[in-house]
């Protein structure tokens, strides 16, 4: 039973991230504004149509696919557009923007509980369409500073209608050249590796609490604690990231994975509910650290022009552990009758992923030394060439003067 429940929950979240590589292509081709507006409109249609179904089967299409895809198209451009306007304080800006989701993590469960009890589920979905409509309007405020592929192609020959309708060549649709950048390739591999255990506590925590602390009421306070400290962490570590130069921002993600893995392993060791609250507070703090600096690192590794697809590929890779990790933990529970082993094992991948991410600054510094060495060699060659040309010129002048004296 735990396996089936975890599979449904992780599949819906995985679908949002699975679409992100496709969303990044649309963002590069048509820009952040069009992609976000269309995504919000599709999400609105999916959510509104979900409110008119009479059975659960159509919800797999209307809510699980249409609404999730719309959210994906609206979410990814919101990370990219920030890098068009901010450089020095990109970490803080990302922290402020992503902290909004933490606020809704705290307030939305309370709102939904009251709405469902008073106006039932389907009317609640219609009320939630208001949020999607606000998101639709907000998309029009995006004014990208980096031109899209569509704008580049139509810029040189605006007189031709067909030139404006021309799409990118197939080799430019998915920019796989990003993976030739070693630091980005390591980053795109290390984070999904760490996330195989990252989402296990978020999916199975409440079921574990119901089994371990049956006499405790208001168990939902745990997720409220995670939401509160996650918002604080996004603001705090987003600001700290601005003080770390270049790829050294990766060390903050290493730190977050270390503590998240440690807190996952400590969940089964908590014999008191108060201790579990403390663990959730720490977990939320470093969860905010991981989320807030994702976009700034992408901009540091590949630059603003390629950041959209860099983030898109990464989120797409993240969908795999998000979909696979929690169901495996649920299967372990069904076999062993407890979540303890699942939480212990969930703490291992964040440690492994953190070790992999530690390679990024080393690879970057090695590459910089090689570039500076080559640049120094070229500079020395130019200096020798200039010196030889000066010597040859001076010798010619000396010979000319000697001839005139004779």
Tens of pLDDT along 283-331?
A: 999 988 888 888 888 888 888 778 888 888 888 888 888 778 888 888 8
* Residue closest to 126 by CA, chosen among 220, 62, 76, 75: 62
How many other CB atoms are found less than 10 A from the CB of residue 239? 16
**165 pLDDT exceeds 60?**
no
User: Containing H/E element for 105?
Assistant: helix 90-139
Mean pLDDT of 386-402: 51
At residue 242, the pLDDT reads 83
Record the tokens describing residue 74, joined without a space.
Answer: 């609206």
Highest mean pLDDT of the ranges 19-33, 238-252, 255-269: 255-269
- What separation in angstroms does the CA of 318 have from each of 32, 175, 199, 383? 21, 18, 11, 50
- Please name the residue ranges forming H helices in 174-272: 182-194, 200-212, 221-243, 250-266
DSSP assignment of 112-123: HHHHHHHHHHHH
At residue 376, the pLDDT reads 61
**254 pLDDT exceeds 80?**
yes
pLDDT tier at 170 (50, 70, 90 boundaries)?
Answer: very low
Residues 6+ apart with CB under 8 A from 103: 227, 231
**265 pLDDT exceeds 70?**
yes
Backbone region of residue 220 per phi and psi (left: phi > 0; alpha: psi in -120 to 50; beta: other values): alpha
pTM above 0.75, yes or no: no
**258 pLDDT exceeds 90?**
yes
- What separation in angstroms does the CA of 194 have from each of 185, 305, 321? 15, 27, 9
Record the tokens describing residue 81, joined without a space.
Answer: 């557009």
pLDDT tier at 113 (50, 70, 90 boundaries)?
Answer: confident
pLDDT tier at 278 (50, 70, 90 boundaries)?
Answer: very high
Q: pLDDT: is 131 or 54 the higher one?
A: 131
Q: Which of 26-35, 37-46, 209-218 has the lowest mean pLDDT?
A: 209-218
Record the tokens describing residue 26, joined without a space.
Answer: 């649309």
Backbone region of residue 194 per phi and psi (left: phi > 0; alpha: psi in -120 to 50; beta: other values): alpha
**393 pLDDT exceeds 90?**
no
User: Containing H/E element for 54?
Assistant: none
Residues 251 and 241: beta-carbon distance below 8 Å: no
Mean pLDDT of 34-39: 91
Tens of pLDDT along 328-364?
A: 888 888 888 888 899 999 999 999 999 999 999 888 8
Give CA angle at 102 (42, 302), nearest 5°.
70
Q: pLDDT: is 345 or 389 the higher one?
A: 345
Distance CA 84, CA 90 (A): 10
Distance CA 50, CA 116 (A): 15
Q: Which of 24-28, 127-131, 372-376 has the lowest mean pLDDT?
A: 372-376
At residue 300, the pLDDT reads 86
At residue 385, the pLDDT reads 61
Q: What are phi and psi of 145, to 5 degrees?
A: -95, -25
At residue 168, the pLDDT reads 41
At residue 281, the pLDDT reads 93
At residue 405, the pLDDT reads 44
Record the tokens describing residue 183, joined without a space.
Answer: 């630091």
Domains and CATH numbers, the chain: 1-142+173-370 (1.20.1250.20)
Distance CA 263, CA 342 (A): 13
Distance CA 238, CA 96 (A): 8
Residues 200 and 325: beta-carbon distance below 8 Å: yes
Record the tokens describing residue 98, joined without a space.
Answer: 């992503």
Residues 6+ apart with CB under 8 A from 302: 178, 181, 184, 310
Percent of the chain with pLDDT over 90: 19
Give CA angle at 93 (90, 97), nearest 5°.
135
Average pLDDT, the chain: 79
* Residue closest to 121 by CA, chosen among 48, 49, 51, 47: 51
Distance CA 240, CA 306 (A): 24
**27 pLDDT exceeds 70?**
yes
**119 pLDDT exceeds 80?**
yes
Per-state percent for the chain, helix, strand, coil, to nearest 5: 85, 0, 15
How many other CB atoms are found less than 10 A from the CB of residue 86? 16
């Amino acid at each position: 039973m735990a396996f089936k429940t975890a599979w449904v929950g992780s599949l819906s979240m995985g679908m949002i991230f699975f679409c992100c590589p496709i969303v990044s292509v649309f963002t590069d081709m048509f820009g952040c504004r069009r992609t976000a507006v269309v995504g919000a409109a599709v999400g609105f249609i999916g959510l509104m149509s979900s409110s008119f179904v009479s059975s659960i089967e159509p919800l797999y299409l209307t809510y699980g696919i249409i609404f999730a895809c719309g959210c994906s198209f609206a979410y990814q451009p919101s990370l990219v557009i920030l890098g068009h306007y901010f450089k020095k304080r990109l970490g803080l800006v990302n922290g402020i923007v992503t902290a909004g989701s933490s606020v809704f993590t705290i307030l939305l469960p309370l709102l939904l509980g009251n709405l469902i009890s008073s106006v039932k589920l389907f009317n609640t979905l219609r009320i939630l369409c208001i949020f999607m409509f606000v998101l639709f309007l907000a998309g029009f405020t995006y004014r990208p500073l980096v031109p899209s592929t569509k704008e580049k192609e139509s810029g040189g020959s605006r007189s031709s209608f067909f030139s404006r309708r021309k799409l990118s060549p197939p080799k430019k649709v998915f920019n796989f050249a990003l993976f030739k950048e070693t630091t980005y390739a390591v980053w795109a591999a290390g984070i999904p590796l760490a996330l195989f255990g990252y989402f296990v506590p978020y999916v199975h925590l409440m079921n574990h609490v119901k089994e371990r602390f049956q006499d405790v009421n208001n168990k939902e306070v745990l997720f409220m604690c995670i939401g509160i400290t996650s918002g604080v962490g996004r603001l705090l570590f987003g600001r700290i990231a601005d003080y770390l130069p270049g790829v050294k921002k990766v060390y903050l993600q290493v730190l977050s994975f270390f503590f998240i893995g440690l807190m996952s392993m400590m969940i089964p060791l908590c014999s008191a509910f108060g201790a579990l609250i403390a663990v959730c507070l720490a977990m939320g703090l470093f969860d905010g650290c991981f989320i807030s600096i994702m976009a700034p690192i992408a901009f540091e590794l590949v630059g603003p022009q390629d950041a959209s697809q860099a983030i898109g590929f990464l989120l797409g890779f993240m969908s795999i552990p998000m979909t696979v990790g929690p169901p495996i933990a649920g299967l372990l529970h069904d076999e062993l009758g407890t979540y303890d082993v699942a939480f212990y094992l969930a703490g291992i991948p964040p440690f492994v992923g953190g070790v992999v991410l530690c390679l990024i600054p080393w690879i970057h510094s090695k590459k910089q030394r090689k570039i500076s060495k080559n640049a120094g060699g070229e500079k020395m060659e130019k200096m020798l060439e200039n010196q030889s040309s000066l010597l040859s010129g001076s010798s010619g002048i000396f010979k000319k003067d000697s001839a005139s004296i004779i």
